């Protein structure tokens, strides 16, 4: 059974589609992408149906990663569909957990930076209002987290049906 991971940010046009596509590329490079289902979502409805931000796509392209997708909003069914839910920052984490008032799914929701050894930060900063360097920084953080996310999926998650 495939392991399923969902990356979540606020609008689903910068950080979370980058997480989805970078992690997919990481798995492809390892030859194991068919063992996983990867998706992304936003905590808000601001950008439903929109493509990823052109600046994020450019940052990905410069590293050989195509950042694609269509914005969608996180929904409560995602708790049951995914084995691991990766929030980009503490605000996203809080918004996700508000949809789980009984904390039934708390153990499958994590911050991306928790998967970066010795990370000085808890949050992947939102690059939307900044310059191109912010998009590169997001790419760096996601790339650093990929091994830890894979380890969690392989060793610490029960597959959802």
Query: 14, 15, 24, 89: which one is catalytic?
Result: 15
Q: Do the beta carbons of residue 32 and residue 109 sit within 8 Å? A: no
Q: Is 21 a catalytic residue?
A: no
Query: 39, 53, 89, 126: which one is catalytic?
Result: 126
Q: Is 90 a catalytic residue?
A: no
Q: Is 157 a catalytic residue?
A: no
Query: 9, 14, 21, 146: which one is catalytic?
Result: 9
Between CA 131 and CA 133 the distance in angstroms is 5
User: Cα dihedral sign for 138, 73, 96, 157?
Assistant: negative
Ranges of beta strands (E only) in the chain are: 3-9, 36-42, 84-87, 109-111
User: Cα dihedral sign for 115, 154, 69, 136?
Assistant: positive
How many alpha carbons fall within 13 Å on the CB side of residue 6?
26
Between CA 26 and CA 23 the distance in angstroms is 5
Provide the 10 A C-beta neighbour count for residue 36: 17
Q: State the catalytic residues.
A: 9, 15, 126
């Amino acid at each position: 059974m495939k392991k399923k991971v969902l990356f979540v940010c606020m609008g689903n046009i910068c950080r979370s589609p980058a997480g989805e596509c970078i992690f997919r590329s990481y798995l492809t490079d390892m030859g194991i992408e068919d063992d996983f289902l990867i998706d992304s979502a936003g905590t808000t409805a601001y950008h439903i149906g929109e493509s990823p931000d052109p600046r994020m796509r450019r940052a990905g392209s410069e590293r050989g990663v195509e950042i694609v997708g269509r914005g969608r909003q996180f929904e409560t069914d995602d708790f049951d569909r995914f084995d691991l839910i990766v929030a980009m920052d503490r605000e996203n984490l809080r918004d996700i957990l508000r949809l789980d008032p009984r904390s039934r799914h708390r153990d499958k929701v994590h911050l991306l930076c928790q998967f970066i050894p010795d990370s000085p930060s808890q949050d992947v900063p939102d690059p939307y209002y900044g310059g191109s360097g912010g998009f590169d920084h997001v790419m760096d953080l996601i790339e650093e987290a990929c091994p830890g996310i894979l380890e969690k999926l392989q060793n610490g998650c029960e597959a959802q049906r």
